[in-house]
């Protein structure tokens, strides 16, 4: 009877050791584990579309005003914004030096298996945008697929 206990204990120890080694040998996820909307600021000057850095920019999540995403950032022409995976629309309050606008993005959520190390992430397919018109002239979707790869998805013209 003592021998059976010893054999069972040995098997349990071996199983836990192998499980620990298997977990500890995994490589870390080499990808960015979040999909963020890439946004460029543009303007049209003499018929030419060009990047247009914003002098002062503050961005908060709509309905999450305590979530300060950008705080008085100067001379910025590109930002990334998090998309709410448990909703079909995300909104943001954008404070420019010349006024404030609100921008909304509606989308479909697309779960995607990235890798065994990274698991699943949420990608998004942009369907439409809406915005107020205090400083923003227009918002254009240039790439509907929001993925974990840093790409421009939206151009905001001011």
Within-domain flag for 27: no
What three-state secondary structure class fits 110?
strand
Q: Output the average pLDDT for the chain.
A: 84
pLDDT beyond 50 at 150? yes
Asked if the structure places residue 6 within a domain, the reply is no
For every residue of 99-144, DSSP letters joined together read EEEEEEEEEEEEEEEEETTTEEEEEEEEEEEEE--SS--EEEES--
> Please, are residues 76 and 94 in contact by the beta-carbon 8 Å criterion?
no
Q: Does some domain include residue 13?
A: no
Residue 128, judged by CB atoms within 10 A of its CB (0-12, 13-18, 19+), counts as: exposed
Q: 142 in a domain, yes or no?
A: yes
Residue 103, domain member (yes or no): yes
- 11, part of any domain: no
Q: With 0-12 CB in 10 A as exposed, 13-18 as middle and 19+ as buried, what is 153?
A: buried
Of 130 and 21, the one with more pLDDT: 130
- The pLDDT-based confidence of 2 (bands split at 50, 70, 90) is low
pLDDT for residue 14 is more than 50: no
Question: pLDDT-derived band of residue 22, with 50, 70 and 90 as boundaries?
Answer: very low
Q: What pLDDT was estimated at residue 9?
A: 58
pLDDT exceeds cutoff 90 at 144: yes
CB 31 within 8 A of CB 20: no
Residue 154 has pLDDT above 80, yes or no: yes
Residue 1 lies in a domain: no
Q: Is the pLDDT of residue 32 over 80?
A: no
CA-based Rg of the chain, rounded to a whole angstrom?
23
pLDDT at 29: 75
Query: Once rounded to an integer, what is the mean pLDDT over residues 116-140?
Result: 92
Confidence of residue 21 (pLDDT cuts 50, 70, 90): very low
Q: What is the sign of the dihedral through the CA atoms of 70, 89, 99 and 35?
A: positive
pLDDT tens for 81-126 read: 999 999 999 999 999 989 999 999 999 999 988 788 878 889 999 9
Domain that holds residue 117: 36-157
- Number of domains within the chain: 1
Task: Report whether pLDDT(68) > 50.
Answer: yes
**Residue 59 domain flag:** yes
Tokens found for residue 145:
């697929």
Average pLDDT over residues 27-40: 80
């Amino acid at each position: 009877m003592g021998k059976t206990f010893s054999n069972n204990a040995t098997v349990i120890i071996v199983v836990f050791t192998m499980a620990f080694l298997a977990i500890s040998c995994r490589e870390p996820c080499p990808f960015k584990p979040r999909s963020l909307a890439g946004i460029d600021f543009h303007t049209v000057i003499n018929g030419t579309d060009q990047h247009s850095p914003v002098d002062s920019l503050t961005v908060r999540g709509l309905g999450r005003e305590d979530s300060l995403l950008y705080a008085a950032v100067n001379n910025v022409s590109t930002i990334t914004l998090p998309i709410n995976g448990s909703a079909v629309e995300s909104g943001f309050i954008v404070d420019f030096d010349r006024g404030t606008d609100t921008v909304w993005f509606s989308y479909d959520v697309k779960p995607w298996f990235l890798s065994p190390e990274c698991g699943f992430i949420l990608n998004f397919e942009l369907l439409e945008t809406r915005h107020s018109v205090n400083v923003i002239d227009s918002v254009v979707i240039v790439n509907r697929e929001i993925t974990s790869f840093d790409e421009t998805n939206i151009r905001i013209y001011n």
